[in-house]
A and B are shown apart, each in its own frame.
Chain A
Amino acid sequence: MNVDLSRRGFLKLSGAGVAATSLGALGFGEAEAAEAAHVRAFKLTTTTETRNTCTYCSVACGIIIYSKGDVRDGNADIVHIEGDVDHPTNRGTLCPKGAALKSYVKSETRLTQPMLRAAGSSKFEPITWDAALDKIARAMKDDRDANFITHNDAGVPVNRWTTTGFLAASATTNETAWATTKVVKALGIAGFDNQARV
């Protein structure tokens, strides 16, 4: 039997403690098969592998995310992240930042719900998404209506809003960037910048 098995495939197969027959096909004797059968299942065997890139620097190393569950079902839990050996730039390697990406995803200071800090308060308090978004829209509309400059002194349309500003990110996707550009430029916000400035 001619089995073309990659390293990862082999780990999956052996780690899963699959039937002795397939191990036998690989040339393992019965004793090894019996040994393999009671070894704890390899951690990554039942996971989904997803291709992604490191969020930190612009070397843009390829990574593989291993998760249990399914993103489509809303229950994908990331259990491991490693370098993508197929990626031409990093060829599987990661630096001390990339190697610790899982701890970013699982950081204790990840945000999980919208919060509001009231004027003069010394703490954040939870607020619903609906209430937060309504508040934002109201504040922006009121500020825009009050301060939007439609024409300059010479009567030229300038459509400029300088009393509200927007700083965009540096690790969001191009698609987020495009959606953000559309909204911010349509509103006429002049003070629009991103991290490339620094």
Chain B
Amino acid sequence: MTNSWTDIKNTDLVIVMGGNAAEAHPCGFKWVTEAKAHRGARLIVVDPRFTRTASVADVYAPIRPGSDIAFLMGMIRWCIENDKVQWEYVKNFTNAALLVKDEYGWEDGLFVGYDAEKRDYDRSSWDYQIGEDGFARTDPTLQDPRCVWNLLKQHVSIYTPEMVERICGTPKDKFLKIAEMIGECSTPTKTMTSMYALGWTQHSKGSQNIRGMAMLQLILGNIGVRGGGMNALRGHSNIQGLTDIGLMSNLLPGYLNVPTEKETDFETYMSTRAFKPLQPNQTSYWQNYRKFMVSFMKSMWGDHATAENDWAYHYLTKLDVPNYDILRMFELMNSGKVNVYFCQGFNPLLAFPNRGKLTSALSKLKLLVTIDPLETETARFWENHGDFNNVDSAAIQTEVLQLPSTCFAEDEGSLTSSGRWIQWHWAGGTPPGEAKHDTWIMAQIFLRIRELYRTEGGVFPDPIVNLSWEYADEGEPSPEELAKEINGRALTPVMDATDPTKTLVEAGQQLLNFSQIRDDGSTTSGCWIYSGCWNEKGNNMALRDNNDPDSTGAYLGWSFAWPLNRRILYNRASADMAGKPWDPSRKLMEWNGEKWTGYDVPDIAPTSAPGTVMPFIMNAEGVSRLFSRGMLRDGPFPTHMEPFETPVPNVINPKIVGNPVARVFADDAAQFGTSEQFPHVATSYRLTEHFHYWTKNNAVNSVLQPQFFVEVSEQLGEEKGIKGGDWVRVWSNRGSVKAKAVVTKRLKPLTCDGKTVHVVGIPLHWGFIGAARKGFGPNSLTPFVGDANVETPEFKAFLVNIEKSTAPKEGPVA
């Protein structure tokens, strides 16, 4: 989230699209209710289903799963056509005025540079014209046909309300009603907030869905202001933190990157990370990349990371492919190329697509290790449960170790909320039986491997035997020790950058925040964006001052928000070019003639006068991007793409299947279904009473929602002879599930490109373990393909068929 949960009360208009906050984030949605009750805010919901969020909306519009880009581009077109643009914001705080290279273009659904063979674009033309001064060329009058604004106008011109209706099935009158409501928020004194979740990410073009709304929000001037923002409602309680700390194949902590093979040494790696400002006076904060990287390496390898050995650069893995993400790992596993696999608090047998492939892949492992507080289907993938897990145990040679870990109530440490608040918690209970903290488990595994390398030697032991592991008890690092390591400290005295005679931090002391991180080896910092979380003042994540001066919803004294305790990102954009708040009644930051003051921690240097440093300091341009250059693989603007399994062809270019640059493995491509065999669109979702696959272990939640069901419209029920409570079978080209049918008015058939499209809704909370009745998940059916940029699987739009059926059979294990 760019803003926080408590900030939502400041909004005038909420759009929930790509999410269902009332059911999936109930206590956060309370702030929407607050805004409605106390500010007269209105709520728009755009969703394939009439959800509980929709039930309290002022306007609800249906949309076909997987068609959001067309809707969003249509909205941008409408705003431009009708002059619903926050012009001062757009001209100054976005790249609208920057000129794009002449070679860039878009035709027939594809951008310039497409290579069908490689399924990739050559993105070199998707960039600015650079002038002789090294800065991007601009036309502040927005007259130049090559300026971003004019290219955007041209790009969205095809998405008329009629086209939106044709692609999305959203009735034109609903679309126009919503457009008018959204358009009102282009004035500087009205704001809209966007709340979205996996309804936008779980698509083969998920990143572009989000881009679409971000662009709309920029055009309306709604980023960086109170009650505005792009608010990704993250899923699990520490999904945000695990991403921030970089637990991904291609990331290091704080959004640094794992090097690739092409980056043969540290200087080559750094050479593409200079982040020279593209406009005069701009901060381009990533210019500090080297400091963050060197300090991360010092946190990892201490004295073994030196200037002479490139800070141990070669201890790091170099990637030969963009990503060893989950989908690739299961693909490799299924080809017999993975031997050992760990699942720490993760239940992939239900969480990834195409369960048949997952079972086959897990069966080829030598050893599977699960670390979890609860039983999981993954740990028992080899156990026969009749129709619910129909496997031949004797034929599966995988050894499985199931390790019991503690849960939230028994451990201490911090979790990062969706609003980036890093909140500390304490242990309230003693772990059951022999369950152990994850930190103990990781330390024990590490110490044993290190011992083996010390005594036996082996292949490249250096990064293992030299890993910095200085804890009071090597066998169980304490949360405090680890948190301090994340924050970072001075190894030798850190001097003031402007006055080298002045010591800022004594050796051994915690750094105040990331402004003190250095690239000369004098500091450590495990995750630079978290720096400030535990400094010499103590554990700032544990702060609990819930005062909120003037009721802005900022709560600066409650926990610690990254970065630098900032609550609303890009907050300099809350004020106009002169530094006056756009909306005096919703002041966030203001220039007082000398410095920025207000309710939040300013995003830019506090003494940067208005008109110099622009608000988007992480971008080399200093401004936000309506045109995202070559940052995303599938285009600098979002363009309509169908899901890989679609009921209607891509109306812009029927030859384009799915996302033309998404990675598809051959065996998965062969398993895509067609609309002839599988005429209905299916989508997955969560229920209020359940949380993924955890609460089915919980007796209370299992009583509240005991049984797997699927939802169909009354029309589809009639067509198929299905009544509420009937058993039905739903199948795709990859698998089949049986469920109770809920025949509902919440789903209605849509008309897309002249064709009637039925949507089948499939909730995701059941499996074959736990207190609830046995059931299935949508992942038995979904395609094994991910987003072209981040590989998030396409769970939200796929094709199925459905028929009346009989009850599934229980297996030998009751």
Which residues of chain A have a CB within 8 Å of any CB of chain B? Answer: 48, 50-62, 65-67, 69, 71, 74-78, 81, 86-90, 93-101, 103-105, 107-122, 124, 127, 129, 132-141, 143-145, 147-148, 150, 152, 154, 156-198
Contact = CB atoms under 8 A, between A and B. Distances in A.
Contacts of B314: 157, 159
26 contacts: A50-B427, A55-B237, A59-B26, A60-B415, A60-B418, A60-B423, A76-B429, A108-B697, A109-B771, A112-B434, A114-B434, A136-B445, A136-B448, A141-B452, A159-B460, A160-B320, A165-B342, A169-B345, A170-B239, A171-B237, A173-B414, A175-B414, A179-B477, A188-B317, A191-B249, A191-B328
Nearest to B371: A169
B109 interface: no
B583 interface: no
B238 A172 contact: yes
Interface string B400-417: 111111011111111111
Contacts of B6: 88-89
Contact of B694 (A56, A132, A175): A56
Contacts of B418: 58-60
B26 A95 contact: yes
Interface string B450-480: 0111001011100110011100000001010
A185 B555 contact: no
Interface size class of B (residues with CB under 8 A): 35 or more
B71 to A, nearest CB: 24
Contacts of B202: 198
B300 A182 contact: yes
A116 B483 CA distance: 33
Given A57-B25, A122-B384, 7 more contacts: A53-B408, A135-B401, A165-B324, A171-B345, A175-B414, A177-B247, A193-B326
A129 B544 CA distance: 38
A62 to B, nearest CB: 8
Given A107-B699, A117-B399, A58 B237 contact: yes
A174 B422 contact: yes
Nearest to A156: B264
B352 interface: yes
B610 interface: no
Nearest to B198: A198
A47 B439 CA distance: 27
Contacts, number: 490
B396 to A, nearest CB: 7
Interface string B242-263: 1111111100110000000100
A55 B549 CA distance: 29
Nearest to B343: A167
Contact of A107 (B238, B429, B443, B697): B697
A118 B771 CA distance: 26
Given A50-B426, A93-B27, A109 B345 contact: no
Given A119-B397, A148-B459, A186 B486 contact: no
Nearest to A73: B430
A103 B700 contact: yes
A67 B342 contact: no
A56 B236 contact: yes
A180 B438 contact: yes
A118 to B, nearest CB: 6
Given A58-B239, A173-B479, A195-B346, A87 B458 contact: no
Contact of B698 (A87, A104, A173): A104
Nearest to B687: A96
